[in-house]
């Protein structure tokens, strides 16, 4: 049995109040969506700022896996490798 990769998730200043004040959180998952779900499980208040009711990324948020936007990749289904960095970047009004 394999464990899901663990990644560092960088939290922007504007969302740190919803993430216990943390600027970085580790979470695990096989995809970007699973990592965001794990983050939302630990810090439920942040989930609605990241994911819409339809289960998509909110338009006012960009998520980068390393240097690439996950919207350019496979969105929330983008696979995660070991020791990657996921960065949340506000791009509009939250």
Q: Each residue of 37-90: pLDDT tens digit? A: 999 999 998 988 899 989 999 999 999 998 999 999 999 999 998 878 999 999
Q: Is residue 1 part of a domain?
A: no
What is the pTM for the complete model shown? 0.89
Residue of 40, 33, 37 whose CA lies nearest to 79: 33
Residue 55 domain flag: yes
Residue 68 lies in a domain: yes
Separation of alpha carbons 23 and 74, rounded Å = 25
23 in any annotated domain: yes
- We report the CATH number of the domain holding residue 56 as 3.10.20.30
Domain that holds residue 70: 6-90
Query: For residue 93, what pLDDT is reported?
Result: 57
Residue with tokens 């929330």: 76
Number of domains observed in the structure of the chain: 1
């Amino acid at each position: 049995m394999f464990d899901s990769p663990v990644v560092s998730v960088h939290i922007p200043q504007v969302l740190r109040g919803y993430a216990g004040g943390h600027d970085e959180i580790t979470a695990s998952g096989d995809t970007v969506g699973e990592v965001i779900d794990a983050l939302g499980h630990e810090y439920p208040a942040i989930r609605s700022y990241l994911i819409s009711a339809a289960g998509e990324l909110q338009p006012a948020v960009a998520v980068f896996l390393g240097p690439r936007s996950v919207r350019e990749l496979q969105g929330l289904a983008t696979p995660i490798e070991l020791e990657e960095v996921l960065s949340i970047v506000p791009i509009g009004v939250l």
